[in-house]
Amino acid sequence: MDYLLRILPPLLDGAGVTLGLFFITLALSLPLGLTLALARLSRFAALRHAVSGFIWLMRGTPLMLQLLFVYYALPFVPVIGVRLPDYPAAVVAFTLNYAAYFAEILRAGIQSIDRGQYEGAKALGMSYAQTMRRIVLPQVWRNTLPPLANETITLVKDTSLIYVLALNDLLRAARGIVQRDFSITPFIVAAAFYLLMTLVLTWVFQRLERQQNAHVA
C-alpha cells in the first residue's frame, strides 16, 4: 500500500495530461468534423473533392505517423514551415485525425435523413441553416450517438500514442516507474485508470442514448 501511495502522484499527473489532451481534442474535432461533413455534401465539386482527399489522407495513414509528421516534418514544409511545441503538435494531429473520422460518421447521419423533411422545412419557409439546426442535426445526433461514442472511447486509448513526443502522459509515467522499480504495479494502476475513464464515458453515453430514446418515445 505504501508503494501504491508513492507512485500515485506521478501517475495522476500523467492522467491529467491524458485527460487534458482528450477533452481538448474532443472539443475541437467534433465541430471541425461537422464542418467537414457539411463541406463533403457541398454543391461545390472542388470543395467536396478537397475535403474527401483530406479525409482519405487522415483515415488512411496511422495516427502515430501524423503525430511525427506534425512535430518533426511540418517545419520543413514550404510556405507553412512552423515548428510546434510537443503538446500543441499532439493537439493538432489528434484534432485533424479525429475530425476526419467524426466527419464521415456525421456525413452518413446527415444523408440518412429523408429528403422529404428538407422539402417540408422549405415549404414552411425555413432557411438551410434553420433546417439543419432545428430538424436535421437533432436527428443526426440521435442516430450517430453509438458510433460517436465508440470513437470517443477509442480517443481515450489513442492518447497513449503521445509518448512518441516524450510527453509525460499516463502511459509514459507508468513506464518510467516500471523501468526504475522493476515492478509491473504501475502498469496495472495505469490500466485501471484507462478502464475507469472508459467506464465513465460508457455510462455517460448510455445515459444520453436513454434520454434520446425517451424523447423520441
The pLDDT, as a whole number, for residue 121 is: 80
Rounded CA gap, 28 and 36, in Å? 12
- How high is the pLDDT of residue 217? 57
- 85-117 residue pLDDT tens: 999 999 999 999 999 999 999 999 988 888 888
CA atoms within 13 A on the CB side of 208: 15
Q: Which domains does the chain have, with CATH numbers?
A: 2-216 (1.10.3720.10)
Amino acid at the residue 182: F
Which stretches of 42-184 are DSSP H helices? Answer: 45-60, 63-68, 86-111, 115-123, 128-131, 137-158, 170-181
Q: What is the pLDDT of residues 8-44, one digit of tens each?
A: 899 999 999 999 999 999 999 999 999 999 999 988 9
List pLDDT tens digits, range 111-169. 888 888 877 888 888 887 788 888 888 888 888 999 999 999 999 999 999 988 888 89
Q: Quick one: which of 54, 59, 215, 43 has its CA closest to 141?
A: 215
CA separation, residue 55 to residues 49, 75, 143, 189 (Å): 10, 22, 21, 36
| Predicted TM-score of the model (pTM) | 0.91
The pLDDT value given to residue 79: 76
pLDDT score of 210: 86
Give me the DSSP letters along 95-125: HHHHHHHHHHHHHHHHHTS-HHHHHHHHHTT
Instruction: List the grid coordinates of 171.
Output: 502511459
